[in-house]
Amino acid sequence: MAVLSFFQNRMDAWIAARNPATADSIFLHNRRLYILPTRFGYLFAIMQLVLLLAAINYQNSMAYVLTFLLTALGIISLWQTHKNLLGLSIRLKTPRPVYQQEELILEFVISHSNLVDRYAIGIQYMNQPPVYTGLKAEQSTTLRLPLPAVKRGLYKPAGFVIFTRYPTGLFHAWSWVKFDIPVLIFPKPLYDIKLRETISDQQHSKSTIDISDGDDFAGLREFRQGESLKHISWKAFAQGRGMLTKTFQGHASPALWINWLDMTAPSQEGKLSQMTALVIETNQEGRKYGVKLPGLEIEQSEGPAHLNECLQQISTFNQTELNSVLLVDKL
């Protein structure tokens, strides 16, 4: 077994060296393509051998014709199957992050500029079921491969197998393609209203009043493109002072700290799930928030970039090795 795994490792290394990961699109040229008979290909060969023996034994000319025609069909299939994959370009779009246990959709853009149609191009990741597509001449298509998001974290997908057996299924042509594209899986959010209220109450007393859109009129300022017309001071406009927007001051909700230490779940993963839920909810409320993880603190802020930053940090917390391989099996 040791010898076998030694060769296995050498093989892996060889394949990895031949198929470096890239963020760019991969062109399937001759050197990247492999082709072998399928089990049915071998069965087909055995059937022909039987036919050939029968033809020789019975000296039956038409049996020879049939045998040789099937042999020719096999040879032509070998070429056609290889040709069906040759010259394709494939790239992986950066996938939208998903929550754990949701479906991760990987979108591949497959294109070619050849004047020929392609059929039954499959893509497979590890042991997941493959998905198939066809391509008209000179066109491109997007192939969606759904994968289970098993574990939170930031990953790199391992190699994908792009393959085809068209037209006869006697041969399996394939290529390994590896993309340097990050895949981010957030923890599954664990909503807990009680926890949220507790934290909010605790922090409310300490928090400062923030300036935001409120109920009390606070003054006028220059109108900016995209602001609601409701808040334009038409009075000032009528007075010839130009477009001015009324600003209001109110008792805005206080900014929140989402702190690892406040989480009630017993396990690390539970705590992270609770934090994820809180980040999402606080963001929806339009409040500012910050995240405190052991050894890491993200300042209180708001906006989509901040949300992403917070979720990513929570997702990758304690992930032993960043950019490790995306696994799709239940662990």
Q: According to CB under 8 A, which residues from 45 to 74 bind other proteins?
A: 47, 50-51, 53-54, 56-73
Q: Which member of 90, 100, 106, 166 binds other proteins (CB under 8 A)?
A: 166
Q: What is the x/- site pattern for other proteins, positions 145-164, by CB under 8 A? A: -------------xxxx-x-
As measured in angstroms, the least distance from the Cβ of 121 to other proteins is: 9
Binding segment (CB under 8 A) for other proteins, from list 143-151, 168-176, 202-210, 234-242: 168-176
32 makes contact with other proteins (CB under 8 A): no
Q: Tell me which residues in 283-312 interact with other proteins (CB under 8 A).
A: none
> What is the Cα–Cα distance from 27 to 241, expressed in whole angstroms?
62
Q: Which member of 10, 29, 43, 234 binds other proteins (CB under 8 A)?
A: 43
Residue 151 burial class via C-beta count within 10 angstroms: exposed 0-12, middle 13-18, buried 19 and up = buried
Tokens 């007393």: give the residue: 205
Residue 318 burial class via C-beta count within 10 angstroms: exposed 0-12, middle 13-18, buried 19 and up = exposed
- Count interface residues toward other proteins (CB under 8 A): 84
Q: Which member of 6, 101, 103, 138 binds other proteins (CB under 8 A)?
A: 138
As measured in angstroms, the least distance from the Cβ of 327 to other proteins is: 9
Q: Which two tokens stand for residue 86?
A: 């040759």
169 makes contact with other proteins (CB under 8 A): yes
* Helix H or strand E encompassing 304: helix 304-316
Q: Which two tokens stand for residue 294?
A: 């052991």
Q: Which member of 1, 4, 7, 24 binds other proteins (CB under 8 A)?
A: 24
For residue 120, which of 84, 86, 147, 87 has the smallest C-alpha distance? 84
With a CB cutoff of 8 Å and minimum separation 6, the contacts of 242 are 222, 223, 236
As measured in angstroms, the least distance from the Cβ of 239 to other proteins is: 31
